[in-house]
């Protein structure tokens, strides 16, 4: 077979004991098993599911360098998001041959398309926020299984005094030639509060700093950082597992934040709810932590107390790696993980993500949509119809909120809804409010509403001096002297809704409803 993009064949694996008992469907032509979303329980079943759908997954046998080249390829194939143009939305991509690594494949872009995420979770693109909201309301807690049932421990590498080299075992990519070093970017970090025993999973950027250490960046307020601080205050390390290559339901659940998931809420229970069965965990081999049993790769280690390192200690550029706003993040002085073991499946698949790609947008943004829907629904039942965290804001900065005014007293509630979103989500910077007849997932339609239902001097609400995300490069005193400290911003509401008493003057043109399939067989609206 040539080195060109091609279909993928995955080795068969036994499903977990908690898998759905529903029998696999078969195709009429081949009789081969056909997965549906309910049967996904790990990365491999997710990829096998995508392989069935034309245009969702491609692979290449052309050898690729993990240093900048791999991400350089995918930038053109399917990254999109806030990545420098030209880029586009496209299929997920498997690199079967990675230079320097005979046994490890790398996959990227699994969650890059909103429609692909929806298929993987058994819903539609427009209902993703609602799907995750319902999962939060009905969590299913993870369960422990024995090592014999844990695919993630088929191969075990234990750290010894003779040496241990992370970079020789795993091909951590760099996004660009300027990165501070090789990064694990789809690293699902799982740890337990040393005081309460409650566990948490979050995704962090991890940079290889030496043969047996990683640096770990924490944005302010992350729960595992709170666990680390408690352990550090007691002079102890914090045991942690780093899980790479998992069921896509796990990253979608892992990106929830307070107030939706307060300290002590295990987001693996959201993934369990999305699948209708508990996520399985297994005891780590070296440190007493817990790992995701069906992960492709698990890095075990300890967050060391009172040890810090500059991310760019080997490059001294002041740069870390590309982050979701589309700019390279500044190098930080960050905590250190001492790696004690690496376990993985046979012929493992390392999953990675381009920092500013649409994959980040979907992981962070859809969870935020679910949280805003929940918050506003609790305060104003039935008023907020849907929310879209727009890719231009990396899934965090810009929210398009669709409301429906049904009575005169609804006027003004749209701005209250925006204020509720701002009060709860520190990273949110701008809110665009639109009516029920605007397609919030169509940027042209949203901008149409802004051009025809918005006046800058009366439809804009400024909220200056509010804490926002530190990765916004405009939120710093050098950009505007009125900003007192980095991470302070002016939050803004763009009210593009029609005043209730003027609604009859803003009715969109109504066309005849017709059956298009009479004229174009197979046409789908």
Peptide bond into 521 cis (omega under 30): no
Does residue 472 contact residue 325 with C-beta atoms inside 8 Å?
yes
Active-site pick, 56, 323, 358, 369 = 323
Cα 211 to Cα 106, 160, 165, 169: the distances in Å are 20, 12, 4, 10
Residue 290, beta-bridge partner list: 283
What values do phi and psi take at 234, rounded to 5? -90, 5
The answer to whether the beta carbons of residues 369 and 252 sit under 8 Å apart is no
Is the backbone peptide bond immediately before 192 cis, with ω within 30 degrees of 0?
A: no
Nearest partner of 320 among 207, 220, 202, judged by Cα: 207
Alpha-carbon distance of 241 to 243, in angstroms, equals 6
Contact 60, 93 (CB under 8 A): yes
b/e per residue 420-433 (b: at least 16 CB within 10 A):
bbbebbbbbbbbbb
Rounded distance between C-alpha atoms, residue 365 and residue 375, angstroms = 15
Contact 250, 201 (CB under 8 A): yes
Number of C-beta neighbours around residue 212 at 10 A: 16
Q: Is 323 a catalytic residue?
A: yes
How far apart (Å, rounded) are the C-alpha atoms in residues 399 and 392? 10
State the Cα–Cα distance between residues 301 and 222, nearest whole angstrom: 19
Residues belonging to the active site? 323
């Amino acid at each position: 077979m040539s080195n060109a993009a091609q279909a993928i064949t995955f080795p068969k694996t036994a499903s977990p004991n908690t898998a759905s008992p529903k029998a696999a469907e078969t195709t009429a032509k081949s009789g081969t098993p056909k997965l549906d979303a309910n049967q996904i329980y790990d990365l491999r079943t997710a990829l096998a599911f995508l392989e069935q759908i034309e245009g969702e997954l491609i692979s290449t046998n052309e050898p690729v360098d993990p240093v900048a080249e791999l991400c350089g390829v995918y930038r053109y194939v399917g990254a999109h998001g806030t990545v420098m143009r030209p880029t586009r939305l496209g299929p997920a991509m498997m690199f079967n041959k990675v230079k320097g690594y005979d046994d490890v494949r790398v996959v990227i872009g699994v969650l890059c398309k909103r429609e692909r995420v929806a298929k993987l979770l058994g819903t539609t693109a427009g209902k993703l926020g609602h799907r995750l909201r319902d999962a939060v309301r009905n969590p299913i807690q993870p369960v422990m299984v024995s090592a014999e049932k844990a695919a993630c421990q088929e191969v075990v590498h234990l750290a010894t005094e003779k040496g241990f080299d992370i970079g020789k075992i795993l091909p951590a990519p760099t996004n660009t030639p300027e990165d501070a070093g090789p990064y694990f970017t789809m690293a699902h970090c799982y740890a337990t509060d040393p005081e309460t025993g409650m566990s948490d999973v979050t995704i962090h950027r991890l940079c290889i700093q030496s043969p047996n250490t990683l640096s770990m960046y924490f944005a302010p307020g992350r729960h595992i950082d709170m666990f680390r601080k408690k352990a550090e205050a007691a002079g102890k390390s914090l045991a942690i597992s780093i899980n790479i290559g998992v069921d896509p339901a796990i990253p979608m659940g892992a990106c929830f934040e307070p107030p939706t998931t307060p300290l002590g809420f295990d987001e693996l229970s959201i993934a369990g709810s999305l699948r209708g069965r508990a996520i399985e965990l297994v005891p780590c081999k070296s440190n007493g932590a817990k790992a995701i049993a069906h992960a492709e790769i698990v890095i075990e280690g300890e967050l060391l107390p009172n040890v810090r390192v500059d991310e760019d200690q080997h490059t001294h550029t002041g740069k870390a790696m590309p982050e979701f706003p589309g700019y390279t993040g500044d190098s930080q002085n960050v905590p250190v993980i001492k790696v004690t073991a690496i376990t993985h499946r046979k012929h493992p698949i390392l999953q990675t993500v381009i920092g500013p790609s649409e994959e980040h947008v979907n992981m962070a943004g859809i969870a935020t949509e679910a949280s805003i829907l929940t918050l506003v629904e609790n305060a104003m039942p039935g008023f907020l119809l849907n929310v879209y965290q727009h890719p231009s804001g990396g899934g965090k900065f810009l929210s398009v909120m669709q409301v429906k005014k049904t009575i005169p007293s609804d006027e003004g509630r749209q701005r209250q809804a925006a204020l509720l979103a701002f009060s709860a989500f520190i990273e949110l910077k701008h809110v665009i409010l639109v009516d029920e007849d605007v397609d919030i997932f169509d940027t042209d339609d949203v901008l149409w509403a802004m051009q025809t239902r918005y006046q800058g001097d009366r439809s804009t609400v400024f909220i200056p001096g509010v804490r926002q995300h530190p990765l916004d490069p405009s939120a710093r005193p050098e950009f505007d002297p009125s900003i007192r400290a980095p991470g302070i911003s002016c939050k803004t509401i763009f009210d593009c809704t029609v005043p209730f008493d003027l609604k009859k003057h803003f009715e969109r043109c109504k066309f005849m409803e017709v059956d298009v399939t009479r004229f174009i067989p197979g046409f789908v609206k």
